Amino acid sequence: MSPNRSERRDAAENRQRILDSALRLFEQHGVEQVSMNQIAIEAQIGPGTLYRRYRNKGELCLELMKENIILLFEQIEEYLNLNRAESASERLKGVLALFLRFREKKAQLLKGVEESASAGRTKSRTQSPIYHELHQLFVGLFDEMAASAAEPSRLNGVFAADILLTALSSDSYSFQRDVRGHTPETILEQLCLTFIPSP
Amino acid sequence: MSPNRSERRDAAENRQRILDSALRLFEQHGVEQVSMNQIAIEAQIGPGTLYRRYRNKGELCLELMKENIILLFEQIEEYLNLNRAESASERLKGVLALFLRFREKKAQLLKGVEESASAGRTKSRTQSPIYHELHQLFVGLFDEMAASAAEPSRLNGVFAADILLTALSSDSYSFQRDVRGHTPETILEQLCLTFIPSP
DNA sequence: ATATTAAACGGAGACGTCTCCGTTTGTCAA
DNA sequence: TTGACAAACGGAGACGTCTCCGTTTAATAT
């Protein structure tokens, strides 16, 4: 990208080397197996320099996904635009499907993000911008669903979105995948059955 | 307890010292702030000895809660016995209330358990016996609810129980408490609204 | 009593994360 | 060009988890 007005040349070079090194190591050994130290060595910088730029592995993972994340939200926006007429529950399902596709592709990096996030002081969830944006989106859809329901429910849209999001976290999702043997499709189905009032 | 047929005397003494030390340190500084090293030092044993007995802090926390956990399940069983006549959804609510009470009282230790569990190789959830037992219980209730429902649902009881359990995890629960400002009561209410089909 | 042995011990050290701080180095203004 | 300064650097080291392995020791058989 364009040199951000004030990023030193050497810093920019290092940044690129970090990203390249991390990507290579991650692909070769898997995100979980690679330590920040290894990345620092591979990138030929000191650990301090690495941590100066990325407070933890999660931030690095996030950086590596940045473009894909932007793409994801563009897809979502596009889908939402093209399906304005659909019911809120149908649109929720659509958005979920898009996210699940993303989650499948970026499983490892996503996990890397969540692990460091929860390790750090701050509790996690609201941390990652991904989840924050998704949350807002879900709240909107839940509220809309509630508004168009026959009988009003005391169910809080924010709460429902929170729970849905934790169900989409790496921990929960991988568990359904690897232990329960679900496919993305059956997970989507079950999520809809759980979070969307009876059809 | 009774010397388990073959626990060396010195080992038993150490075990007790570990438990005492851990309890004291946890109460004084909070579970999260206390390291296994500190516990080892306080108990006057080597780190290796500590880890030989408890593979991680989580196992130690679990041990510290053992009696309370047993009590919890006794309470649940009693409640279930006294309320056989109630609907499955009502009983689910009752069990949840009991667990939430437990979770409030043992929040720190519970968190300790979950953190080490997820840090370790194995994924977590099914790990802790608490969650495993609760899971079975929930599955039974969900299935019962489905059986007595007007229209059959494709919602999987196992899946619903899994999601409910992740919603009860330290991460999710503390988030609702501390960030969203919920009380145990409102959380219980919202959980019911989320996981129990419209009344 | 003594020998045997399996369990328990303990601490060094591998490896990780992350911070602190003295040193180096672009950059920009004079 | 040069001087000053903020930013970037790097690595030592604090602290944590957890393992490995030579040594000690309680329990049991002789």
Q: Over 60: is that where the pLDDT of B2 sits?
A: no
Question: By the CB < 8 Å criterion, does B87 face chain A?
Answer: no
The answer to whether residues B161 and B186 belong to one domain is: yes
Chain A residues within 8 A of B172 when measuring between CB atoms: 162-163, 166
Distance from residue B9 (CA) to nucleotide C1 (C1'), in Å? Answer: 22
The answer to whether residues B76 and B43 belong to one domain is: no
Question: By the CB < 8 Å criterion, does A150 face chain B?
Answer: no
Nucleotides of D under 7 A from a protein CB: 7-13, 15-21, 25-28
Q: Over 50: is that where the pLDDT of B61 sits?
A: yes
φ and ψ at residue A90, rounded to 5 degrees? -65, -40
Segment A126-147 shows an average pLDDT of 92
**Residue B60, domain member (yes or no):** no
Question: By the CB < 8 Å criterion, does A170 face chain B?
Answer: no
Range of B90's domain? 65-195
The answer to whether residues A72 and A49 belong to one domain is: no
Q: How many CB atoms lie within 10 A of CB A76?
A: 19
Chain B residues within 8 A of A158 when measuring between CB atoms: 180
The answer to whether residues A23 and A76 belong to one domain is: no
What CATH number has the domain bearing residue B46? Answer: 1.10.10.60
Question: By the CB < 8 Å criterion, does B183 face chain A?
Answer: no
Tally the domains of chain A.
Answer: 2
Q: Per CA to C1' distance, which residue is closest to D27?
A: B8
Q: Are residues B196 and A146 in contact, defined by beta-carbon separation less than 8 angstroms?
A: no
What CATH number has the domain bearing residue B116? Answer: 1.10.357
The answer to whether residues A131 and A157 belong to one domain is: yes
pLDDT tens sequence across A138-186: 999 999 999 998 888 899 999 999 999 999 999 999 999 999 999 999 9
pLDDT tens sequence across B125-156: 666 889 999 999 999 999 999 999 888 889 99
Q: Which two tokens stand for residue A8?
A: 């030193």
Sign of the torsion angle spanned by Cα atoms B19, B25, B28, B34: negative
Query: Across the interface, do A190 and B156 touch by the CB < 8 Å criterion?
Result: yes
The answer to whether residues B31 and B123 belong to one domain is: no
Three-state secondary structure string covering chain B: CCCCCCCCHHHHHHHHHHHHHHHHHHHHHCHHHCCHHHHHHHCCCCHHHHHHHCCCHHHHHHHHHHHHHHHHHHHHHHHHHHCCCCCHHHHHHHHHHHHHHHHHHCHHHHHHHHHHHHHCCCCCHHHCHHHHHHHHHHHHHHHHHHHCCCCCCCCCHHHHHHHHHHHCCHHHHHHHHHHCCCCHHHHHHHHHHHHCCCC
Query: Across the interface, do A166 and B162 touch by the CB < 8 Å criterion?
Result: no
Give the nearest nucleotide to B13, CA to C1': C8
